[in-house]
Amino acid sequence: MIRRFRPYFRYLRPQRGLLVVAILCGVIAGVASGAGLPLMVKKVFPVIFAMDAAPLATWQLIAVALWIPAVFLVRGVATYLNTYFIQLVGTRVLEALRVDFFRKLQVLPLSFFQKNSTGDLLSRGLADANQLQVTLTTVANEIVRSPASLIGSIAFIAWTAYQEQGAALVLVTLAVVPLSVLPIRYIGKKLIKRAGQIQAELGGVTGIFSENLSATKEVRAFNLEEREVARFTRASQTLIRAQMKFMKYEKALTPLIEIISAAGISFTLLYAYRVHLDRDTFLTLITALYASYEPIKKLGSLNNEMKRGLGALDRLEEVLHAPVAIVDAPDARALPRARGDLAFEGVRFSYAGGEPVLRGIHQRIPAGTVCALVGPSGAGKSTFANLVPRFFDPVAGRVTLDGHDLRLLRLADLRRNIAIVSQDPVLFNDTIFQNLLIAHPTATRADIEAAAQAAFAHDFIRAFPEGYETVVGERGARLSGGQKQRLALARAFLRNAPILILDEATSALDSDSEAAIQLALKKLVLGKTVLIIAHRFSTIRDATRILVFDDGEIVASGSHAELYAANALYKSLFDRQNTPA
């Protein structure tokens, strides 16, 4: 089982100095418990309670009495330092683990996020990472500390028993120790299945939580409050049932070991009576024997902890080991500012082996073309556009930019040459200034204000008391839809990339604002290759070419007048939007 965790012990390497100190403190605490306490009983009690011994001098009495606080002082300080340093190591391990998890999420393809819910990924990155951190530090600590304590106890028992009665008493005293391992093995088998179930159910609860928080308007608009509470309650109850099944077995381990320990002590008591073992030796052996069961319980708990860790590790590895499909080729070429000449050569695409979304697309879009993509929902328009910034790669054929296969260009260079304005723009919980700056990190404040003015955003930004330093809230919650979309357009102005992708970029604007933005867009698209994913035909009035998509194919291409006269699908789509109700 430890082999599964071995690759992740690399997170402990940068902390190995602290870890060694923590483990040494743990060993000292373990030996102080396993051997120090029984030795205290052996050395102190006979001296204090000896009836026929000569009276002790005051200093001798104090020296004997000080043995007790000395043992507990060593044990307490060592335990404290062990716990503190282990927690420090664990915190740093957790930080490194979560950063690696987060870093992996940044490079996974978009198809991965289509298959995994946000809530489940949050649960993996937070709860599962925390569980793995606890497991790693616990294993690293207890794998040395508990055996040290156990060995100290057993060695003392064996030495004392052999001195008094020889090998027979050693065997009798220690016979019950191997029996304590049986419940550890049995319970461990029960826990391994329950651990993974708990982590999965926790992901489900987090998923419902996350989904609900992102749909607060819809919940209230459709009177879904009670339905959401009921849905969350069911998921929470399922999680509790899984947790209680785990607890049922985990919490049974300590009493089982203690019952076996009590039976062993009772058996030792009977044997001591038979062989006329003196009281002081018996008390010493019983103290050492009882001290040996504590590390056995710790090792049992360690086994349970590893089962929990395995459940978390399985879920984390689904992300950490997920293939990264969109990467730079080993011989990827640098790309300066592109001209913007796009070509699709026999392009086929499908999501995760499903039905083809694009079927053998052949299309060239010369630099400077303003190209509108129209067609029914699901016809392949967005997928076509998403292949340009390599959000996906074709399963067959290739997409080229200025004659270069996109897969042979450096990904960062490619995306630096593309600006995207989506239908639902995302803003980060930061200032307006920082949200604009991401489009061009080296831009000056004057550049940013000029871009905002070009997008008709400058006036509403200045109207805020904090101006460009206004924090927009999570996903831009403090702004209206139109304001968010103007900021997205300002990003595109600031980026000034040769390729521009507009996904219904003016849909959230009122008619006056839309007219102004259309004027701004005329300036923005000059000299650029533009792909307009059109849902409303009013947005494609300035397109120099229109591509009509249907069932993953381009069924027609031309100007509005040409397509309206010659293509029945285009005519029906256009008339449906422009015929008065």
pLDDT per position as a tens digit, 125-172 = 887 888 877 777 777 666 666 776 667 667 766 666 666 665 555 555
- Report the distance separating Cα 87 and Cα 91, nearest Å: 6
- Which tokens is 388 given? 């340009």
Where residue 58 falls among pLDDT bands split at 50, 70, 90? low
Where residue 402 falls among pLDDT bands split at 50, 70, 90? very high
Classify residue 404 as left (phi > 0), alpha (psi -120 to 50) or beta.
beta
Same domain, 369 and 269: no
DSSP SS3 for 337: coil
Give me the amino acid identity at 226. E
Tell whether 297 is covered by a domain.
yes
Same domain, 314 and 354: no
How large is the average pLDDT for residues 518-522? 74
Run of H or E residues at 546:
strand 545-550
Chain mean position to CA 50 = 63
Tell whether 438 is covered by a domain.
yes
Nearest CA to 388 out of 369, 402, 401, 375 is that of: 401
Same domain, 188 and 236: yes
Tell whether 543 is covered by a domain.
yes
DSSP SS3 for 455: coil
The residue segments making up the domain with residue 184 are 2-320
Same domain, 222 and 351: no
pLDDT exceeds cutoff 60 at 470: yes
Q: What is the CATH classification number for the domain harbouring 313? A: 1.20.1560.10
pLDDT exceeds cutoff 60 at 322: yes
pLDDT in tens, 92-136: 877 788 888 888 888 888 878 878 777 788 888 887 888 877 777
Tell whether 328 is covered by a domain.
no
Nearest CA to 325 out of 361, 344, 360, 349 is that of: 349
Same domain, 264 and 385: no
- Per cent of the chain over pLDDT 70 is 70
Same domain, 358 and 391: yes
Q: Which residues contact residue 12 at a Cβ distance below 8 angstroms, ignoring those fewer than 6 apart?
A: 19, 89, 93, 136, 137, 140
Same domain, 295 and 423: no
pLDDT in tens, 263-321: 766 776 666 666 666 666 666 666 666 666 667 666 666 666 777 777 788 888 888 88
Run of H or E residues at 372:
strand 370-374
- Report the distance separating Cα 254 and Cα 187, nearest Å: 11
β-bridge pairing 499-503 and 529-533:
parallel
Q: What are phi and psi of 574, to 5 degrees?
A: -65, -45
Domain end call among 320, 352, 369? 320
Q: How many domains does the chain have?
A: 2
Tell whether 332 is covered by a domain.
no
Cβ atoms of residues 82 and 22 within 8 Å: yes
pLDDT in tens, 213-268: 767 766 776 677 788 888 888 888 888 887 777 777 766 766 776 677 677 667 76
Same domain, 153 and 10: yes
Same domain, 316 and 427: no
Nearest CA to 397 out of 351, 431, 447, 346 is that of: 346
| pLDDT attached to residue 477 | 80
Same domain, 223 and 359: no
Find where tokens 């955003």 sit: 457
pLDDT exceeds cutoff 70 at 89: yes
* Torsion sign over Cα 424, 430, 431, 436: negative
How large is the average pLDDT for residues 363-385? 91
HEC assignment per residue over 70-132:
HHHHHHHHHHHHHHHHHHHHHHHHHHHHHHHHHHHHHHCCHHHHHHCCHHHHHHHHHHHHHHH
Domain end call among 257, 287, 320? 320
Tell whether 335 is covered by a domain.
no
Classify residue 346 as left (phi > 0), alpha (psi -120 to 50) or beta.
left
Tell whether 89 is covered by a domain.
yes
Across the beta sheet with 356-365, the strand order is 356-365, 342-350, 396-401, 404-405
| pLDDT attached to residue 41 | 64
How large is the average pLDDT for residues 41-61? 62
β-bridge pairing 553-558 and 545-550:
antiparallel
Same domain, 312 and 355: no
pLDDT in tens, 21-46: 888 887 787 677 656 666 666 666 66
Q: What is the CA radius of gyration of the chain?
A: 35
Same domain, 127 and 169: yes
Tell whether 329 is covered by a domain.
no
> Which residue blocks in 419-554 are alpha helix, DSSP H?
432-437, 445-454, 458-463, 481-495, 511-524
Burial of 160 (0-12, 13-18, 19+ CB in 10 A): buried
Q: What is the CATH classification number for the domain harbouring 492? A: 3.40.50.300
How large is the average pLDDT for residues 47-71? 65
Find where tokens 């507009």 sit: 502
Domain end call among 320, 354, 382? 320
